[in-house]
Amino acid sequence: MGRFVNPDSSAFQVALNSKIYVDKTGLISYTNSVLDTTNAYICNSRPRRFGKSYAANMLAAYYSKGADSEKMFSGLAISRNIDFKKHLNQYDVIHIDIQWFLANCNDANKVVAFITKSVLDELRDLYPEVLTQDTGTIPDALSRVKERTGQKFVVIIDEWDVIIRDGSMTEAIQDEYLNFLRGMFKGVEPTKYIQLAYLTGILPIKKEKTQSAVNNLDEFTMLQADELAPYIGFTEEEVKKLCGEYGRDFDKVKKWYDGYLLNGYQVYNPKAVVSVMTKGKFRSYWSETGSYEVIVPLICMNYDGLKNAIIEMLSGSEVKVDTATFKNDPAKIQNRDDVLTYLIHLGYLGYNEDTEMAFVPNEEIRQELITAVKSSNWDELIEFQQKSRRLLIATLEMNERQVAAEIDRIHSEYASMIQYHDENSLSSTLTIAYLGALQYYFKPVRELPTGLGFADFVFIPKPEYKSTYPALVIELKWNKNAKTALQQIKDKRYPESILDYTGAILLVGINYDKESKKHQCLIEKYDKN
């Protein structure tokens, strides 16, 4: 066994030793199903702290000839697979972490040479009769071994994209590295010696012009997770089980850490879930991921529509994103959609593949983005938050005239973003208008099924504010009157479904008059008796 060639199973054992381990060996079932096929070339990208290295370590422990891991995997899901023992510890495995090599290389210009020498030295020790000192590249070495012995390789590369994401890397270093990957995986010869290629990082493979620089890789991403969706983060069922074991409020965990929608699965950030289970504190654990410093320059980019899009998403809305323009290279960001797509890959935004809409996935991320905005001195948003808080205060004080005036003001100032045509555009204004409420309330529930119909907006206070902040049930009308809106809330018994979630409840009816271009508002306290 070696450090990089045929490693032992100690790295994966660390995961198994942890207080919380969620079985993700179903990923092995998938990789077993594609071994030695055209689908055996995989790039699985996901945000930091979503279990990238755990997955890479798991695959290495399972396939490596340098490990004896049958006991380790017994009792896990993969052990019940018919092919479990067929592939267990049967392959020469090369497992490298590009982040480690970069950190331990004195000269970034020589990182590819450092990787090459480190792996070749171990391959020569393993196959001295095949590999001589004139074998100068890893692909050449793998090709020679296959030709002489018939042995194919499993190649696992962790943090594959760190050289692409690191702004200090020159284009020459990146090009040399991409050529290294092409040599490893692209073309006819690699199909002779690759049993499985598994790359993982935050970004998909960098695009050159319109296609991937290594275009024979199957890519699984935060945009399109496909079959690997349940192995990227924790699924809802896994989180429910943990909540039961640790006595945590699942609904609260969901509001704080859910929101990533991948191929029909609701996916949670594993780092956050494990932290709240073991520590019991509902707060943001995202800043501990190390990617925070990336956000500030991104949101400060003065691309047309970017800041408006961020305001809308922070307020609870979704925005359309064209993800096709992003080259999977932060240095090549050119427009609003590129920024939003990068934020999706980083995990700061969720993405609905069917609707092509981006959104802030949960309370944890919303707080992180707000903090990033504040640190960026984005004065417009800070000012807007202040206006929004005035609207909230007026609502809580039941000052109907001021509520209408504040909404008038917000609509007027953001008319370029929101043009009124119907009730839907009125709802867009209300979404951003109550941005300031999200310090005290969870993201508003849109069209919540309540009583005999669907309320337009329902704001539920966070548990710590339950005793001091009422729930808000808001109904909107277009070119009618506020009284009609308020009466609908009562007639259709909208508040009934939230009685268990809150203390006091305010009913808010808002109308926009098309002729006067003014809003009207009526507010009443809800009598629960």
Q: Span 206-214, mean pLDDT? A: 69
In a domain, 5, yes or no: no
* 395 shares a domain with 340: no
Per-residue pLDDT tens over the stretch 228-278: 999 989 999 999 999 999 999 998 999 899 889 999 999 999 999 999 999
Same domain, 336 and 449: no
More confident residue, 33 or 432: 33
Any idea what DSSP says for residue 494? G
pLDDT tier for residue 320 given thresholds of 50, 70 and 90: very high
Contact between residue 146 and residue 152 where contact means Cβ atoms under 8 Å apart: yes
- pLDDT, averaged across the chain: 88
In this prediction, residue 358 carries a pLDDT of: 95
Looking up tokens 């966070």 gives 462
Structural domain that includes position 424: 379-525
Among the three residues 191, 220, 249, which one is the final residue of a domain in this structure?
220
Residue 453 has what pLDDT? 60
pLDDT in tens, 448-499: 665 556 667 889 898 888 888 999 999 888 888 899 989 988 888 888 878 7
Q: Is 229 a domain residue?
A: no
CA geometry: angle at 247 spanning 243 and 250, to 5°? 40
Q: Judge if 384 and 370 occupy the same domain.
A: no
Q: Is the pLDDT of residue 422 over 60?
A: no
Q: What is the distance between the alpha carbons of residues 151 and 195, in angstroms, rounded to a whole number? A: 9
Cα–Cα distance, 262 to 236 (Å, whole number): 12
Give me the pLDDT at residue 421, please: 56
Residue 300: pLDDT over 80: no
Q: Angle at CA 318, nearest 5°, toward 314 and 321?
A: 110
Please state which of the ranges 5-9, 28-32, 501-505 shows the lowest mean pLDDT. Answer: 501-505
Looking at the domain assignment, is residue 225 inside a domain? no
Helix axes 423-433, 379-396, angle to 10 degrees: 100
107 CB-contact burial (10 Å; exposed 0-12 / middle 13-18 / buried 19+): exposed
Provide, rounded to the nearest whole percent, the portion of the chain with pLDDT above 90: 58
Q: Is residue 281 part of a domain?
A: yes
How many residues does this entry show for the chain? 529
Provide the domain count of the chain: 3
Is the pLDDT score of 211 beyond 80? no
Could you say which of 343, 375, 407 is where a domain stops?
375
CA distance 170 to 172: 5
Q: Is 90 exceeded by the pLDDT of residue 200? A: yes
Q: Look at residue 139 in the predicted model and tell me its pLDDT.
A: 95
Are 385 and 283 within one domain?
no
Reported for 297-303, long-range contacts at CB under 8 A and 24+ positions apart, including other chains, are 298/333, 298/339, 298/342, 298/343, 299/339, 299/369, 299/372, 299/373, 299/376, 299/378, 300/376, 300/378, 301/333, 301/339, 303/335, 303/336, 303/339
Indicate if 154 and 21 belong to the same structural domain: yes
Structure-token pair, residue 246 = 């640790």
Task: Please check the confidence at residue 376 and state whether its pLDDT lies above 90.
Answer: no
Residues 371 and 387 in one domain: no
Domain termination residue (choose one: 194, 220, 246): 220
Of 51-60, 65-74, 101-110, 147-156, the poorest mean pLDDT is in 101-110
Identify whether residues 97 and 60 lie together within a single domain. yes
Is residue 432 predicted with pLDDT exceeding 90? no
pLDDT at 287: 66
478: left (phi over 0), alpha (psi -120 to 50) or beta: beta
pLDDT tens by residue, 20-45:
999 999 999 999 999 999 999 999 99
Is it the case that residue 416 has pLDDT exceeding 60? no
User: Residues 316, 446: one domain?
Assistant: no
